[in-house]
Amino acid sequence: MNHVEKPESFDPEGLRRRLSESRGNASGPAAGGAEEKGVELNQLARQIAEQFRDDSYSPAMITGLLRLCEFGALLALGYFIHALYDGFEITVLYAAVLVGGAAIGVLLLQLADAYQVPALRSPLRMTPRILAAWAAAFASISLVLFFFKTGDQYSRVWFAAWFATGAVYLLFERQVIAYAIRRWARNGTMERRAVIVGGGEPAKELIRSLEYQPENDIRICGIFDDRDERRSPSIIAGYPKLGNVAELVEFARLARIDMLIISLPLSAETRILSLLKKLWVLPVDIRLAAHARGLRFRPRSYSQIGAVPMLDIFDKPIADWDNVAKRIFDIFFSVVALVLLWPVLIGAAIAVKLSSPGPILFKQKRHGFNNEVIEVYKFRSMYTHLSDPSARAAVTKGDPRVTRVGRFLRKSSIDELPQLFNVLKGELSLVGPRPHAVEAQTHDRKYVDVVDSYFARHRVKPGVTGWAQINGWRGEIDHDDKIRFRTEFDLYYIENWSLWLDLKILFLTPFRLLNTENAY
């Protein structure tokens, strides 16, 4: 990789590779564990973080929902006109044209860039494109009907009325959407929240460039920089410097931040790499501002916010519609599992109650998404007076704290089944990195002190089962290498996630549970 001599050849992929190599060789405590080391936010940073506790909706989610709504509305309009003209009963041919016409209409609107946020903000300017796309959809349907010689089977009045009402609907709806987007932008419903990393003149230039974009959806929440007042003033372009990079990690845990923008010269590669080693554990997009003049990049190496080029260093894993798809996957298969396994759940509950005095369920505080602490449910497997909610002392083979029933439940992993209710509550996913107890440790050292990248596991929701578990890394963690390997498998899952991978892990889990070597 070239460095200072030729910054125009900056290689984001090479930077990611070097970061991966450095984190793989690291053995010290993770920078992402700032909160574990007692870092406290100053009062101003904490107040601002509290203002951004609520979730916002990204433009990708809003435009995706708009596509679905327009498809449904155009389909419903066509059917309603058919019901008024010919009755509620509909033939297969009419249904095919309705579905095909609405789908082609949405597709052509997409090709006409009618779902871009700037287009949604300017409905009058987009009116010719919208009408042209809708007309092209009907022209396409007409052409298909002509070649299949089926045009005489459809009412021309219905066809023309659907086209006219669909055009009126699209024009009226786009006016409403434009008003809604302006309102959502003002109240923070639809925005991308960004933090600037790095101060001084580069940060000032970046902020001015972003503010110059008239249709910018970026909300700058503050600036964080390790440098002192001489090189990085406390107020930059009207925005306060809220703390250093260690405090930024804590700030991003509290606030719902979407993006970190590093505002440093591309020649400062060593410092950029040092920052990334601290920040990549967060579940956010990480971008490197590339707004300086005279730099040339390959088209695929950067994205843009308005007219400001950004080098894409890391993307938030499982974001936007991927997150929706994963949530639907979780709910569907959790309900299926509960329907199929309810006799097992009832039998286990009765066995636990009869085995020893105490509650049936055991609740344990564990790390969830973005290091949030959640209560995970399990069937109680220990004697109540010997239980260890903190999990400081790992369960070992022949552990006297475990009941006879509990030993069977743990070996078979039936004790984990109540976590299906955590999944339905949205605290866990069916598949993901297994959540560890907040105080879990090996040889008197917390996991974060053993593995440099430990907190990067929390960039996604933890799971009932995971890639590490089906590859043999389940049960007792009595050696540093076990948590290292488990973390590596978890990071592989996060970086290579797909619904097919989730389905594969879910399918293989029952077979892998037959291996009870490390389950006590």
221 part of a folded domain: yes
Q: Are residues 434 and 303 in the same domain?
A: no
Annotate 98-147 with DSSP letters as a single string: HHHHHHHHHHHHHHTTTTSHHHHH-HHHHHHHHHHHHHHHHHHHHHHHHH
- Domains: count for the chain: 3
Domain CATH for 256: 3.40.50.20
- Model pTM score: 0.81
Among residues 35, 79, 104, the alpha carbon closest in space to that of 448 is found at 35
In terms of residue numbers, what domain contains 496?
321-512
Q: Are residues 378 and 452 in the same domain?
A: yes
2 part of a folded domain: no
Give the separation between CA 249 and CA 41, rounded to whole angstroms.
Answer: 10
74 part of a folded domain: yes
Q: Are residues 394 and 298 in the same domain?
A: no
519 part of a folded domain: no
Q: Are residues 181 and 198 in the same domain?
A: no
The predicted structure's pLDDT at residue 504 = 94
Based on C-alpha coordinates, what's the Rg of the chain? 28
The predicted structure's pLDDT at residue 300 = 53
Give the separation between CA 175 and CA 184, rounded to whole angstroms.
Answer: 14
Q: Are residues 310 and 413 in the same domain?
A: no
Q: Are residues 221 and 147 in the same domain?
A: no
Asked if 332 and 431 touch (Cβ cutoff 8 Å), the reply is no
Residue after which a domain boundary falls, among 141, 158, 187: 187
The predicted structure's pLDDT at residue 493 = 94
Write out residues in the chain with pLDDT < 50, as ranges: 1-9, 26-36, 293-295, 520
Q: Beta strands of 198-243 (E only): which ranges?
A: 218-224, 235-236, 239-243
Q: Are residues 368 and 496 in the same domain?
A: yes
Q: Are residues 464 and 476 in the same domain?
A: yes
Q: Are residues 285 and 426 in the same domain?
A: no
Pairing of strands 235-236, 239-243: antiparallel
1 part of a folded domain: no
Residue after which a domain boundary falls, among 289, 316, 343: 316
pLDDT in tens, 435-466: 888 877 776 777 777 777 788 888 999 999 99
Q: Are residues 136 and 15 in the same domain?
A: no
443 part of a folded domain: yes
**E strand or H helix at 305:** strand 302-305
